Chain A
Amino acid sequence: MPNKEETSSDKKLDSKEIMDRIAEASRQVVSGVEDEEVENWVTIYIMGRAYEVPADLTILTAMEYAGYKFVRGVGCRQGFCGACSTVYRKKGEYKLQTGMACQTRVEDEMYLVQIPFVPAEKPSYDLTEHEYDVNVLFEYYPELARCVSCNTCTKACPQDLEVMDYVQAAIKGDFKGLAEESFDCIQCGLCAIRCPSEIVQYNIAQLGRRLYGRYDSPEPEHLKKRLEEIEEGKFDKEMKEITKLSREELERMYAERKREED
């Protein structure tokens, strides 16, 4: 535990000190840092077993620190891919919390378990065979009609989306609302595993966005142009060359790349 003097709020910090503290807190500690350098420790329980881990780790890195190796249930480590869904409960609290393991910091007395996979219904469909109609959503996902508006999905969403609102937009056939409200979904599946009506919110939203994209949003001009260029073989030569490069050469090219103007 840090001593009282250091955390005292009446001590004014200048901006450099604040930035140093942030940098210190964000420091990667899984590798290259000796335990004796770690100042603060917490106790977490991974599937019921206690571990002492450095306090500034995420759930993901804390579990790796404890010795777990992830093969599934981990991905980009940046909060984008939705692979490391996690549920946890803090000691003495009745609430089951949800989050992405790579984005949630460990806290003292956290009970943890990873959800490596969400077994969710995901039928295959051909967009060209369907009309742009709410019935398509109900045809593939009839359980949509079971929503009781309990809002549990919204509470579970690590992206802070209004999940219930987009489910309701789906029921109303409001494809625009569905597409826009669900746009930042990372498909982690936490809404679906918490839903008492067993709705697969994120897959329904994906179907909705696809239908909206196909039938109700203007075709982007630049995409049309680029597709034509690809078909005409404009990039074939460049592609052929790039696939022959070594890893080092590719990394150098990536680092030196120039961003195209918007």
Chain B
Amino acid sequence: MKVSYYPGCTLKTKARNFETSALAVAEKLGIELIELSRWNCCGTVFSLTDDDLIHHVAPIRNLIRVQEMNKNGLVENDHRLVTLCSMCYNTLKRANIRVKEKPDDLKKINDFMYLEEDYKGNVEVIHFLELIKDIGFEKIKENVTNPFKGLKIAPYYGCMLLRPKEVGIDDPEEPVIQEELIFALGAEVIDNPYKKVCCGSYQTIRDKQVVSNLAYDILTHAQNAGAEAISLSCPLCAFNLDSRQKEIKEKHSDFTRIPVFYFTQLMAIGFGLNEDYYGFDLNYVNPEPLLKEKNLIGRNNAK
């Protein structure tokens, strides 16, 4: 199955491990994620201002690329666009909904982008987790050759996968999609009431302390419930929950570091894929000691 795929800037820089692991597990599942041949920044933040159409130009331009992928035969009559980064997912999806609901806005945006073909409003923005759910968690189970055997993992959603409700990939209050995935990989799911609490997002640039305080609450609640690792899907959440453990440790000497994984890294481990796809060099807290202790890596892994 070939599907158009939008990586986003961070997956090409600070979160390359998210992309390499995702492409590898997708291939294992028989999904070919075809990167858009030309793409630009998703727009990063969905503009809520009523007449601020210029900030919707970037996401809509990317949706036009999906039309082009179909026209050029790179995908076959498939207008889905798969995203990995939660922030890109949120921005692209909300912009898509906005122009579908407001044809006048779409006309203005199309007129402004007169060098492009018109966006016809027929693209569906989805998150990779939704694609996995469509394939079925049974299929995931079938591909597990290196089961987690009860490793305790707490899923973290943050904001962008769930809110606002109309773009959420799951119930905004009681999401279970990551739980089902983690369960299918043979791990134990640890529930954490802080799994939907904001990580502090871009405040991380302005005020590290605000973010490390939030991260401390999120991580320690998971740890108190028994979690040995965190699973998530957003490079910014990953930065705040993973790299900011440095600041947490400086403030709370009794804090124990906890590895933070992209869900696709967990899948790559569970599928027993080549360790080159894990990309742990970009993780701040090195997950290898934990994985070795559980005998999940360092074995003779087949591809």
List A residues at the B interface (Cβ < 8 Å): 134, 147-151, 154-155, 164-165, 168, 171-174, 196
A148 pairs with B12, CB closer than 8 A: no
Complex A-B: 9 CB contacts under 8 Å:
A134-B13, A147-B58, A148-B54, A148-B57, A149-B41, A151-B115, A165-B40, A168-B41, A171-B41
B115 pairs with A155, CB closer than 8 A: yes
The answer to whether residues A149 and B58 also contact, given A165-B38, A171-B41 and a CB cut-off of 8 A, is yes
> In the complex, what residues of A have CB within 8 A of residue B57's CB?
148-150
B13 pairs with A173, CB closer than 8 A: yes
Min CB distance, A92 to chain B, in Å?
A: 18
The answer to whether residues A196 and B40 also contact, given A151-B115, A171-B9, A172-B12 and a CB cut-off of 8 A, is no
Bound complex: CA of A223 vs CA of B83, how far in Å?
45
The answer to whether residues A149 and B12 also contact, given A164-B40, A168-B39 and a CB cut-off of 8 A, is no
Q: C-beta contact mask, B102-125 vs A, less than 8 Å → 1, else 0?
A: 000000000011010000000000
Q: Which residue of B lies closest to A135 (CB)?
A: B13
Q: Is B43's beta carbon under 8 Å from chain A?
A: yes
The answer to whether residues A147 and B38 also contact, given A155-B115, A172-B12, A196-B54 and a CB cut-off of 8 A, is no
Bound complex: CA of A148 vs CA of B41, how far in Å?
8
Bound complex: CA of A134 vs CA of B10, how far in Å?
11
Interface secondary structure of B, over-half rule: loop
The answer to whether residues A172 and B54 also contact, given A149-B41, A149-B61 and a CB cut-off of 8 A, is no
Q: Is B141's beta carbon under 8 Å from chain A?
A: no
The answer to whether residues A149 and B13 also contact, given A155-B115, A196-B54 and a CB cut-off of 8 A, is no
Q: Which residue of B lies closest to A133 (CB)?
A: B13
Q: C-beta contact mask, B145-159 vs A, less than 8 Å → 1, else 0?
A: 000000000000000
The list of the 10 closest CB pairs from A to B, nearest first, reads: A149-B58, A149-B40, A172-B12, A168-B40, A173-B13, A172-B9, A171-B9, A134-B13, A149-B61, A148-B54
Q: C-beta contact mask, B1-41 vs A, less than 8 Å → 1, else 0?
A: 00000000100110000000000000000000000001111
Q: Which residue of A lies closest to B113 (CB)?
A: A151
Bound complex: CA of A149 vs CA of B113, how far in Å?
10
B115 pairs with A173, CB closer than 8 A: no
Bound complex: CA of A96 vs CA of B192, how far in Å?
57
Q: Which residue of A lies closest to B58 (CB)?
A: A149
The answer to whether residues A147 and B41 also contact, given A172-B9, A172-B12, A196-B54 and a CB cut-off of 8 A, is yes
B58 pairs with A148, CB closer than 8 A: yes
Bound complex: CA of A168 vs CA of B58, how far in Å?
11
Bound complex: CA of A173 vs CA of B41, how far in Å?
12
> In the complex, what residues of B have CB within 8 A of residue A155's CB?
115
Q: Is B55's beta carbon under 8 Å from chain A?
A: yes
Max chain A Cβ within 10 angstroms of own Cβ: one of B38, B39, B41, B112? B41
Q: Which residue of A lies closest to B39 (CB)?
A: A168
B36-78 residues at the A interface, CB under 8 angstroms: 38-41, 43, 54-55, 57-58, 61
Q: Which of A147, A151, A164, A174 contacts B12 (CB 8 A)?
A: A174
Given contacts A148-B55, A173-B12, 14 further A-B contacts (CB under 8 A): A147-B41, A147-B58, A149-B40, A149-B41, A149-B43, A149-B61, A150-B54, A151-B113, A151-B115, A154-B115, A165-B40, A168-B39, A168-B41, A174-B12
Q: Which of A151, A154, A172, A196 contacts B13 (CB 8 A)?
A: A172
> In the complex, what residues of B have CB within 8 A of residue A147's CB?
40-41, 58
Q: C-beta contact mask, B82-100 vs A, less than 8 Å → 1, else 0?
A: 0000000000000000000
B43 pairs with A148, CB closer than 8 A: yes
Min CB distance, B105 to chain A, in Å?
A: 15
> In the complex, what residues of A have CB within 8 A of residue B112's CB?
150
Q: C-beta contact mask, B233-262 vs A, less than 8 Å → 1, else 0?
A: 000000000000000000000000000000
Q: Which residue of A lies closest to B44 (CB)?
A: A145
Min CB distance, B208 to chain A, in Å?
A: 17
> In the complex, what residues of B have CB within 8 A of residue A150's CB?
54, 57, 112
> In the complex, what residues of A have CB within 8 A of residue B40's CB?
147, 149, 164-165, 168
Bound complex: CA of A76 vs CA of B12, how far in Å?
40
> In the complex, what residues of B have CB within 8 A of residue A148's CB?
43, 54-55, 57-58
Bound complex: CA of A171 vs CA of B44, how far in Å?
12
> In the complex, what residues of B have CB within 8 A of residue A164's CB?
40
Max chain B Cβ within 10 angstroms of own Cβ: one of A155, A164, A172? A172
